[in-house]
């Protein structure tokens, strides 16, 4: 796509590594002009990709991120709320500070980025927002109380915002991956991961491609009648 | 940079005209004749709830962009006032000017 004004624009939060970076690459391949953010600068580059250092839990930094997108691209079609943090610990041993940290990134970050996305999307009466949940929510996974609580909140946000943003032509959906071989699960013992995989209908780790497959479905223009949905990979559970 | 009242009123009126066109409640109103007394919301108001949300979001964006501020119009104070600052063009203008003054703009 050479016509910059006609080129669709996507934002991926938590774009520095893991699934976020993979989604950036796939969206760029699909013809999107892609913006990404993470708290730190990235040491890689990609044609069609622009990185903005921003903490999604910081309201001023989120406003700055969207000012940059507005100034450089003037539009936004797709937002992937991928930024997330996890923590595995017994509930009784989990410090309140861990809950606060997870809530700040997973819930507050999704809330702020979604709200600011709408300001850019509503002008064209079109938008696709995809949030990231986890199969740990329907599994009520032990040892993940803070993570599951915050991702449950993300699912609730997905459903409520899907109603409130529908009049603007914006859909909001979520994809809930199984464990995927990224930094997020690297610290989790292998037997814990295997026990989790054993509960799935399709007994394997997820791949980043599995996530993009659902994202691609949610963001295509033909998915205008699909909103407020959460798709769990590897299910039923 | 201080925002003049007339400038702010102009921004609000332009936004109200844009979004009132999409509202059934605006049928029969002369959108060219709007002024500070124009009721935005409620019985004889021009806007439905979605229109009001759109106007507040639009005005907030334009003011913040032009003034370099980070005001939030629909803050808790606004929502808890006995008389809504969003009831008319004039009351909304007053409220936004108050927010700008508090931010030193």
Q: Is B83 exposed, middle or buried (0-12, 13-18, 19+ CB in 10 A)?
A: exposed
- Is A122 in contact with B54 (Cβ distance < 8 A)? yes
Nearby residues of B10 by Cβ (< 8 Å), 6 or more positions away: none
Residue A20 counted as domain residue: yes
DSSP class of residue A14? S
Of residues A59, A119, A167, nearest to B50 (C-beta): A167
Q: What is the pLDDT of residues A135-154, one digit of tens each?
A: 999 999 989 999 999 999 99
CB-nearest to A119 from B50, B57, B70 is: B57
**Do residues A196 and A139 touch, judged by C-beta distance below 8 A?**
yes
Q: What is the mean pLDDT of chain A?
A: 93
Q: What is the CATH number of the domain that holds A30?
A: 3.40.50.720
Q: What digits encode the pLDDT tens for the residues A93-118?
A: 999 999 999 999 999 999 999 999 99
Could you tell me if residue A22 is inside a domain? yes
Which residues of chain A neighbour B50 with C-beta distances below 8 Å? Answer: 167
Q: What is the pLDDT of residues A186-205, one digit of tens each?
A: 777 788 888 888 999 999 99
Q: What's the pLDDT tens digit per position in A21-67?
A: 999 999 999 999 999 999 999 999 999 999 999 999 999 999 999 99
Nearest to A62 by CA among A38, A43, A42: A38
Instruction: Let me know if residue B34 belongs to a domain.
Output: no
In which domain, by residue range, is A95 found?
4-232
Number of domains composing chain A: 1
Q: Tell me which DSSP letter residue A168 carries.
A: G
Range of the domain at B75: 5-24+39-102
Domain assignment of residue B32, yes or no: no
Whole-number percent of chain A with pLDDT over 70: 96
Picking from B49, B70, B74, B103 by the largest number of A CB atoms within 10 A of its own CB, the best residue to mutate is: B70
- Total of domains in chain B: 1
- Could you give the CA distance from residue A34 to residue A46 in angstroms, rounded to a whole number? 10
Residue B30 lies in a domain: no
* A3 pLDDT above the threshold of 70: no
- Tens-place pLDDT, residues A63-83: 999 999 999 999 999 999 999
Task: Assess contact for B68 and B105: CB atoms under 8 A.
Answer: yes
Q: Using 50, 70 and 90 to split pLDDT, how confident is the model at A2?
A: very low
How many Å lie between the alpha carbon of A116 and the closest alpha carbon of chain B?
10
Residue A156 in domain: yes
How distant is the Cα of B57 from the closest Cα of chain A, in angstroms?
Answer: 7
Q: Which residue has the higher pLDDT, A216 or B42?
A: A216
Q: How near does any CA of chain A get to the CA of B45, in Å?
A: 20
pLDDT band for position A230 (cuts 50, 70, 90): very high
Residues A226-231: what's their mean pLDDT?
A: 98
Residues of A in Cβ contact (< 8 Å) with B21: none
pLDDT range class, residue A1, cuts 50, 70, 90: very low
Residue A237 located in a structural domain = no
Whether A32 sits among the annotated catalytic residues: the reply is no
CA distances from A116 to A64, A104, A121, A225 (A): 10, 16, 9, 23
Written as six digits, the tokens of A213 are 């497959």
């Amino acid at each position: 796509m050479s016509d910059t004004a006609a080129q669709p624009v996507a934002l991926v939060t938590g774009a520095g590594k893991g699934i976020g970076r993979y989604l950036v690459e796939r969206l760029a391949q699909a013809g999107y002009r892609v913006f990404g953010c993470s708290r730190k600068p990235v040491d890689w580059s990609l044609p069609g990709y622009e990185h903005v250092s921003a903490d999604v839990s910081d309201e001023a930094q989120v406003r700055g991120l969207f000012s940059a997108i507005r100034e450089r691209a003037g539009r936004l079609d797709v937002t992937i709320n991928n930024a997330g943090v996890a923590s595995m610990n017994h509930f009784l041993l989990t410090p309140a500070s861990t809950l606060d940290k997870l809530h700040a990134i997973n819930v507050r970050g999704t809330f702020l980025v979604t709200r600011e996305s709408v300001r850019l999307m509503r002008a064209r009466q079109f938008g696709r927002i995809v949030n990231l949940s986890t199969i740990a929510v329907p599994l009520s996974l032990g040892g993940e109380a803070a993570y599951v609580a915050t991702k449950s909140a993300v699912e609730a946000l997905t459903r409520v915002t899907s109603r409130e943003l529908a009049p603007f032509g914006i859909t909001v959906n979520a994809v809930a991956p199984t464990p995927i071989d990224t930094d997020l699960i690297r610290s989790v013992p292998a037997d814990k991961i295997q026990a989790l995989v054993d509960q799935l209908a399709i007994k394997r780790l997820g791949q980043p491609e599995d996530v993009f497959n659902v994202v691609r479905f949610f963001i295509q223009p033909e998915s205008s009648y699909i909103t407020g949905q959460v798709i769990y990979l590897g299910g039923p559970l | 940079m201080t925002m003049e009242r007339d400038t702010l009123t102009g921004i609000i009126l332009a936004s109200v005209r844009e979004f009132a066109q999409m509202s059934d409640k605006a049928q029969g109103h002369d959108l060219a004749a709007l002024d500070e007394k124009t009721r935005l919301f409620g019985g004889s108001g021009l806007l439905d709830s979605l229109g009001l949300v759109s106007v507040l979001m639009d005005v907030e964006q334009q003011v913040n962009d032009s003034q370099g501020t980070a005001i939030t119009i629909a803050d808790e104070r606004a929502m808890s006032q006995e008389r809504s600052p969003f009831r008319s063009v004039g009351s909304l203008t007053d409220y936004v000017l108050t927010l700008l003054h508090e931010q030193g703009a």
